[in-house]
Amino acid sequence: MTDATRPASPAASATETAGNPPICAAHEAAEQLLHLARLVQGGATSASENRPALTPAQWTALRYFARANRFSRTPSAFSEFNATTRGTASQVVKSLIGMGLLQRSMNQADGRSALIDITPAGRACLQGDPMTTLGEAIAALPPPLRAALGQRISALTATLARRKNAPVFGNCRDCRHCDSAADNATWCHCTQTLLSASDMGALCVDFAPVARRA
Amino acid sequence: MTDATRPASPAASATETAGNPPICAAHEAAEQLLHLARLVQGGATSASENRPALTPAQWTALRYFARANRFSRTPSAFSEFNATTRGTASQVVKSLIGMGLLQRSMNQADGRSALIDITPAGRACLQGDPMTTLGEAIAALPPPLRAALGQRISALTATLARRKNAPVFGNCRDCRHCDSAADNATWCHCTQTLLSASDMGALCVDFAPVARRA
DNA sequence: CACAGATAGTAGCGATACGAAACTAACTGG
DNA sequence: CCAGTTAGTTTCGTATCGCTACTATCTGTG
């Protein structure tokens, strides 16, 4: 391939990126981060035997209801988490229920509220989550780098969520509502319940530096 | 709020997250990363005076054509970059041209190819890019953390892109086609052209650990 | 108890994103 | 000259997603 096949003359190169301040490293990193997310979600979401070709929104919902604790598995909480409207969230949930990946049950104490739980089929489906490729890539990092990366991303998420007026959705282990009395159990002052060890790693709407219901 | 208002009995808590292996840190970081991207793109993309309410895909395209070098500003290159089809990329470009944010010109050497350039209006529009909130949050990090974060994200992007059969799209300064002879200019063996300093910071389709045209 | 206001969830509408496939035009190699 | 490839567009069907309106339920106050 010779120079003649290239579109721009050398003289043209002066104008094309001129007048443009050199992109700062932070801006560039932000672009790469969005690009990374796009690569995970967009590229070739084809179905296979154990991967039923869910849309990005459906994967997000399935992941959410697999990870959220029992106070947070409602359509409304998911809509807040995902920075969308309740209507949109309701549709996504409905579609997943129709596939048998989620199931709905009534809240005995509040007739308005619905409890959404992931089904065994839903858990099996999560094994084919396209996001796991990213998880594996992160897992391949040396442990100190991986830990630092996770901390940074968490902090950025919190910053952005605050700026977008979305709730922060942290883990109970970092929540100031929680009182770690014993080794295996923790008292949550917000929900007035005793949390098991598995609860501690789950997402919670009531996560708070800022108390929302106290 | 008392315990009675809470939906699940303590006994139910044993089943809801049981049978679920504790989510590993890498998986959790991957989820947070996608969540972060969602917060940037999804939440309240309302229009204001200098921000014309573009869709996420349109923002991505506008950013791409602002940053890509002169060999990479084509609809096809953008479609590869964004892990989408040429048809979709064509539509997004057309819409931005209709808004006057991009402009098209013919490639003299190849009648099939189109050159897409960002207009002054497009550059002005980028000032209102919702992604800048993320850029600012990253810029607020201490410099060593920021640099490490950027490196990690770049590496992850490259890994994922390779796995998705998408091109890697790096900067010329990291490309092995490039031969830094002088301080201000670099010879690119791939395109047989002399690159200016501003070219070096731009995205290139021909970026290569793997030579695609050599 | 009555009632106003807030909240959980759903339904329908419209605009749009996106991928798949078909198509045209132009380039490339023999 | 001609088969094969590549750049780009168009069309179409599906799904996303925000918005608005609506119902049902809960909560607080007098």
What is the per-residue pLDDT across B52-104, written as a single tens digit (0 to 9) for each?
Answer: 678 889 999 999 999 888 888 999 999 988 888 899 999 999 999 999 899 99
Q: What is this structure's pTM?
A: 0.78
Phi/psi-derived region of residue A83, left when phi > 0, alpha when psi is between -120 and 50, beta in every other case: left
pLDDT range class, residue A3, cuts 50, 70, 90: very low
- Residue A94: which nucleotide is closest by CA–C1'? C10
In B57-169, at which residue ranges do the beta strands (DSSP E only) sit?
102-106, 114-118
Cβ atoms of B34 and A40 closer than 8 Å: yes
Q: Which nucleotides of D are covered by protein (CB under 7 A)?
A: 6-11, 15-21, 24-27
Q: What is the pLDDT of residue A49?
A: 47
Cβ atoms of B162 and B194 closer than 8 Å: no
Q: What is the pLDDT of residues A101-148, one digit of tens each?
A: 999 988 888 888 899 999 999 998 888 888 888 888 888 888 888 888
Q: What is the pLDDT of residue A97?
A: 92
pLDDT at A48 over 70: no
The reply to whether residue B135 touches residue A27, judged by beta carbons under 8 angstroms, is yes
Cβ atoms of A40 and A133 closer than 8 Å: yes
Does the CB of B149 have a partner CB in chain A at under 8 Å? yes
Answer for A90: CB within 7 Å of strand C.
yes
Question: What percentage of chain B exceeds 90 in pLDDT?
Answer: 18
Q: What is the pLDDT of residues B106-124, one digit of tens each?
A: 888 888 899 999 999 999 8
Identify the residues numbered 24 to 83 in chain B whose C-beta atom is closer than 7 Å to any atom of strand C.
Answer: 55-58, 83
- Average pLDDT over chain A reads 74
- Give A-chain residues touching B212 at CB under 8 angstroms: none
Amino acid occupying residue A174: D
Average the pLDDT over A47-76 and give the result.
81
Q: Output b/e per residue, B169-201; b: 16+ Cβ within 10 A.
A: bbbbeebebbeeeeeeebebebbebebbebbbb
Average the pLDDT over A187-211 and give the result.
58
Distance from CA of B110 to the nearest CA of A (A): 7
Higher-confidence residue of B144 and A206: namely B144
**Residue A99: half-sphere exposure toward Cβ, Cα within 13 Å:** 22
Q: How far apart are CA A28 and CA A21, in angstroms?
A: 13
Give distance CA A178 / C1' C2 (Å): 40
Give distance CA A194 / C1' C6 (Å): 29
DSSP, res A208 = -
Length of chain B: 214
Does the CB of A58 have a partner CB in chain B at under 8 Å? no
Two structure tokens written together for A27: 């801006």
pLDDT range class, residue A151, cuts 50, 70, 90: confident
Does the CB of A173 have a partner CB in chain B at under 8 Å? no
- Average pLDDT over chain B reads 74
Does the CB of B209 have a partner CB in chain A at under 8 Å? no
Task: Count CB-CB contacts under 10 A for residue B11.
Answer: 7
If you compute the radius of gyration of chain A from its CA atoms, what whole number of angstroms results?
22
- Residue B61: which nucleotide is closest by CA–C1'? C17
Q: What is the pLDDT of residue B94?
A: 93
Q: What is the pLDDT of residues B169-189, one digit of tens each?
A: 666 666 666 666 555 566 666
A 15-44 → B contacts, CB under 8 A: 16-20, 22-44
Cβ atoms of B37 and B56 closer than 8 Å: no
pLDDT range class, residue A204, cuts 50, 70, 90: low
Q: Which of B123, B72, B162, B15 is nearest to A21 (CA)?
A: B123
Answer for B112: CB within 7 Å of strand C.
yes
- Residue B76: which nucleotide is closest by CA–C1'? D7
At CA A155, angle to CA A154 and CA A159, rounded to 5? 120
Cβ atoms of A142 and B39 closer than 8 Å: no
Distance from CA of A7 to the nearest CA of B (A): 6
Does the CB of B11 have a partner CB in chain A at under 8 Å? no
Maximum Cα interatomic distance, chain A, rounded to a whole number of Å: 75
Average the pLDDT over A66-70 and give the result.
85
pLDDT at A89 over 60: yes
- Give A-chain residues touching B194 at CB under 8 angstroms: 10
pLDDT at B213 over 50: no
Q: How far apart are CA B207 and CA B213, in angstroms?
A: 10
Give distance CA B86 / C1' D10 (Å): 12
Does the CB of A161 have a partner CB in chain B at under 8 Å? yes
Average the pLDDT over B126-148 and give the result.
86
